[in-house]
């Protein structure tokens, strides 16, 4: 059923995602879909929670800039694949508070898991702001400015974020 | 008429913004509204272009971190005022390609105007990536993560971006 949610979101956007269309696409009776999810926001939140349960291991390239670049490349890939479920979910988050909260939880989980890439080179430096400083410009350039995914996009902002850490750390 | 667009966008969101509601709110005949804008995207784009024409002077506090912090505080203020026309326009940009393009133009104009804050302390350092590294985390935290505007939000990411420049510049 969650596959049906993803497929419909990509094909028709949030407006096309209803209990009825999910029931039709998944072959599950609409009463069952309704009993489980109540509304579109619940459907989206469950789809995101399922993604959250997929194990994710942060990269370990041997350098902070390498790790941050690898994470940014994963974000670029997720936002530029055609069609992009991530981009569709971000758009949907502006229509559904439940989806917005599920997206927030998903990202915060990832930042918590990725903290190790900062902590192993710069113990004592708060990891989350460095990760956000590295990743946020990629989201901003691709999602809000709708710019192209240039070859250097992932590395450019990883380098700036890594440089800000190196300045205050004894072991860059 | 553009005041009516802003008021309706804030009160009812993109779904409530139509040629008819703008005509009713502004007291202008709907045929006139239709002739001038054709559709909701055109209305939004014109409202943004009007905002683009308002003169904006980048801050000059005497330091890069001070200037970047001042810019970030303007972004925090624009995104957290209640109601926020900026937040409403970002949400609308996911429904209207014309609005998305107008928003992109507005931001790129601002980054071009703000380049001077980087160039005067770090000649030769490309300004736009530093500005985006400073500003993007604020948009990301407030718009995509829907987080609170903590007291240190503006300065935290301004400091990280400024630190990345100081490392490669002879005159921080």
For residue B86, the tally of other CB atoms under 10 A from its CB is: 20
Q: Which fold has domain A2-50?
A: Arc Repressor Mutant, subunit A (1.10.10)
The rounded radius of gyration (Å) of the Cα atoms in chain A is 18
B150 closest CA partner among B72, B46, B53: B72
The pLDDT tens digits of the residues spanning B35-66 come to: 877 777 777 778 777 777 788 999 999 999 99
Average pLDDT of A125-136? 97
Q: A91: which residues sit within 8 A by CB, 6+ positions away?
A: A13, A14, B94
CB within 8 Å: A139 and B144: yes
The pLDDT tens digits of the residues spanning A25-62 come to: 988 888 888 887 777 777 777 877 777 778 899 999 99
Average pLDDT of every residue of chain B? 88
CB within 8 Å: A133 and B157: yes
Alpha-carbon gap: B132 to the closest alpha carbon of chain A (Å): 6
Let me know if the fold of A2-50 is the same as that of A56-166: no
Alpha-carbon gap: B9 to the closest alpha carbon of chain A (Å): 14
- For an interface test with B, the pick among A105, A129, A134, A168 (most B C-beta atoms closer than 10 Å) comes out as A129
Which residues in chain A have their CB less than 8 angstroms from residue B141's CB?
Answer: 132, 136
The pLDDT value given to residue A168 = 52
In the structure, what pLDDT confidence band is assigned to residue A19 with cuts at 50, 70 and 90? confident
The yes/no answer on whether domain A56-166 falls in CATH 1.10.357.10 is yes
The pLDDT tens digits of the residues spanning B65-98 come to: 999 999 999 999 999 988 788 888 898 888 888 8
Spell out the domain ranges in chain B: 2-50, 57-166
CB within 8 Å: B103 and A144: yes
- For an interface test with A, the pick among B14, B145, B161 (most A C-beta atoms closer than 10 Å) comes out as B145
CA distance B133 to B154: 12
How many A/B residue pairs have CB atoms within 8 Å? 94
B94 closest CA partner among B36, B168, B38, B15: B15
pLDDT for A104 beyond 80: yes
Alpha-carbon gap: B10 to the closest alpha carbon of chain A (Å): 14
CB within 8 Å: B144 and A90: yes
Chain B contacts to A (CB-CB under 8 A): 90-91, 93-94, 100-101, 103-104, 107-108, 129-130, 132-133, 135-137, 139-141, 143-147, 156-157, 159-161, 163-164, 166-168
Alpha-carbon gap: A120 to the closest alpha carbon of chain B (Å): 19
The pLDDT tens digits of the residues spanning B161-170 come to: 999 987 554 3
Give residue B27's region: left, alpha or beta (phi > 0; psi -120 to 50): left
By CA distance, what is A96's nearest residue in B? B91
CATH number at B57-166: 1.10.357.10
């Amino acid at each position: 059923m969650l596959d049906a949610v993803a497929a419909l979101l990509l094909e028709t956007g949030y407006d096309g995602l209803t209990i009825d269309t999910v029931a039709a696409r998944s072959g599950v009776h609409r009463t069952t879909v309704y009993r489980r999810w109540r509304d579109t926001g619940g459907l989206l939140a469950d789809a995101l929670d399922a993604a959250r349960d997929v194990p994710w291991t942060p990269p370990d390239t041997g350098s902070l800039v390498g790790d941050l670049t690898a994470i940014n490349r994963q974000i670029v890939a997720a936002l530029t694949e055609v069609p992009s479920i991530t981009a569709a979910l971000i758009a949907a988050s502006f229509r559904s508070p439940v989806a917005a909260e599920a997206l927030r939880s998903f990202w915060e989980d990832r930042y918590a898991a990725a903290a190790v890439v900062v902590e192993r080179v710069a113990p004592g430096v708060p990891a989350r702001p460095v990760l956000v400083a590295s990743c946020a410009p990629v989201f901003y350039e691709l999602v809000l400015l709708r710019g192209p995914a240039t070859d250097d996009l992932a590395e450019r902002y990883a380098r700036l974020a890594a440089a800000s850490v190196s300045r205050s750390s004894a072991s860059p």
